[in-house]
């Protein structure tokens, strides 16, 4: 068989590339004669840079900047000179995983550090920039990034606004001389949420970054004022566009202050990977991620792989650290299995590659017997 292995990351344990390697090892042990193609996937979050740089043959670049808490750090972005394309992964600069757990509150964090990567890519001569924004630690609506790129924010009494938590006092926004940094800026969003409201950035994703429900109102007051003040200068708002709420409103900020175009991260990946052709050449597709839950089937990459396989009538297996949406998994995948079938959650997390390889080998042997 021609087997296409196309997993996302197993968050906190395996990158998409490491997961693909583990699955391939297990499958080869049971079915050494099958032809295997590995295609690690990202829908815009952690690991986006590595995945996209492989597809574009882009080389890693370094930039000195600050993380979401303004601590100095070295970050990476990627550069492909022939097409003058830059790839930036927000999580590599202002990601939640780059901070000590529980040490910083979202009111203390912003997107300022991302500005250094934007400037570095522009200085290199990038005409097109592709930026994945999932996995951020922030909830500032892109305010910090705008400040880093020269936008000025002023209160009604003439005082500069330097923190996003002060935006409720915002009266004027002054643009810098340069507002267009690339001929094309594409934002890969891994969610479809708007900026504000019950499905907005703060209420849906704020809690996983440390926001309490009692703080939602204050956070949204600042983001709402940012949106309203910018609309004094423009006739249209990006706040209601699908994906504006991605990365704590960074999607909104990139669209508003840099003129970016948002695109679902999986669609972007599929386009650059020529996924349609690869699927049609496959006899079996294997995908997976850390947790298969309800969000998997709401535009996330693994769920979209399942949908495309069903459309093309290709068997699709899914592996996960755990499966929290069993009924949906059974509907969408030919078979869905979790590491917790073999071991406890704690052990699965400490040695995910070994258990994923073992689970894959077991599944491949059963698959061979079923097809014999």
Map out the domains of the chain as residue ranges: 2-41+283-371, 48-266
Alpha helices in 210-245 (DSSP H): 216-231
pTM above 0.85, yes or no: yes
Is the four-CA dihedral 345, 346, 349, 353 of positive or negative sign? negative
**152-155 and 170-174: which strand pairing?**
antiparallel
Q: For residues 16, 19, 24 and 27, what is the CA-based torsion angle, rounded to 10 degrees? A: -130
Encode the chain (372 residues) as per-residue pLDDT tens digits: 999 999 999 988 999 999 999 999 999 999 999 999 999 999 888 899 999 999 999 999 999 999 999 999 999 999 999 999 999 999 999 999 999 999 999 999 999 999 999 999 999 999 999 999 999 999 999 999 999 999 999 999 999 999 999 999 999 999 999 999 999 999 998 888 899 999 999 999 999 999 999 999 999 999 999 999 887 655 557 888 889 999 999 999 999 999 999 999 999 999 999 999 999 999 999 999 999 998 888 778 999 999 999 999 999 999 999 999 999 999 999 999 999 999 998 899 999 999 999 999 999 999 866 554
What is the residue whose two structure tokens read 């891994």? 190
The rounded distance, in Å, linking the Cα atoms of 363 and 23 is: 10
Any residues with CB less than 8 A from the CB of 272 and at least 6 apart, and which?
A: 52, 55, 56
264: left (phi over 0), alpha (psi -120 to 50) or beta: beta
> Which DSSP category does 111 fall into?
S
What is the residue whose two structure tokens read 């917790």? 340
Q: What fold is seen in the domain 48-266?
A: Glycerate kinase, domain 2 (3.90.1510)
Q: How many residues does the chain have?
A: 372
Check if 2-41+283-371 and 48-266 are the same fold: no
The rounded distance, in Å, linking the Cα atoms of 202 and 139 is: 7
CATH of 2-41+283-371, one of 3.40.50.10350, 3.40.50.1000, 1.10.260.40, 3.30.420.310: 3.40.50.10350
What is the residue whose two structure tokens read 């080998």? 361
Please tell me whether residue 73 adopts helix, strand or coil conformation.
strand
């Amino acid at each position: 068989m021609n087997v296409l292995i196309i997993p996302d990351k197993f968050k906190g344990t395996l990158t998409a590339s490491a997961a693909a390697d583990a699955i391939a090892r297990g499958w080869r042990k049971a079915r050494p004669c099958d032809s295997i193609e590995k295609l690690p996937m990202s829908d815009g979050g952690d690991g986006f840079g590595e995945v996209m740089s492989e597809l574009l043959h882009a080389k890693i670049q370094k930039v000195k900047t600050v993380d979401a808490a303004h601590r100095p750090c070295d970050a990476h972005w990627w550069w492909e000179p022939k097409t003058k394309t830059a790839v930036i992964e927000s999580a590599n600069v202002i990601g939640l995983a780059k901070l000590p757990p529980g040490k910083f509150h979202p009111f203390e964090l912003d997107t300022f550090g991302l500005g250094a990567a934007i400037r570095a890519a522009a200085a290199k001569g990038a005409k097109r920039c592709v930026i994945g924004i999932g996995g951020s630690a922030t909830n500032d609506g892109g305010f910090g990034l705008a400040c880093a790129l020269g936008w000025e924010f002023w209160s009604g009494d003439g005082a500069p606004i330097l923190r996003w938590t002060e935006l409720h006092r915002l009266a004027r926004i002054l643009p810098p001389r340069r507002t267009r940094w690339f001929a094309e800026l594409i934002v890969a969003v891994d969610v479809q949420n708007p900026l504000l409201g019950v499905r907005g950035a703060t209420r849906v994703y704020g809690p996983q970054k440390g926001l309490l429900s009692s703080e939602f109102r204050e956070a949204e007051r600042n983001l709402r004022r940012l949106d309203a003040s910018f609309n004094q200068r423009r006739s249209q708002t990006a706040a209601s566009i699908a994906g504006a709420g991605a990365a704590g409103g960074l999607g909104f900020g990139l669209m508003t202050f840099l003129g970016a175009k948002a695109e679902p991260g999986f669609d972007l990946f599929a386009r650059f990977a020529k996924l349609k052709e690869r699927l049609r050449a496959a006899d079996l597709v294997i995908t997976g991620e850390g947790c298969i839950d309800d969000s998997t089937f709401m535009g996330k990459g693994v769920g979209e792989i399942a949908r495309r396989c069903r459309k093309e009538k290709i068997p699709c297996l899914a592996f996960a650290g755990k499966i929290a949406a069993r009924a949906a998994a059974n509907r969408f995948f030919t078979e869905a299995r979790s590491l917790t079938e073999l071991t406890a959650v704690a052990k699965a997390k400490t040695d995910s590659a070994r258990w994923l390889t073992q689970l894959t080998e077991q599944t491949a042997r059963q698959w061979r017997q079923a097809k014999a």
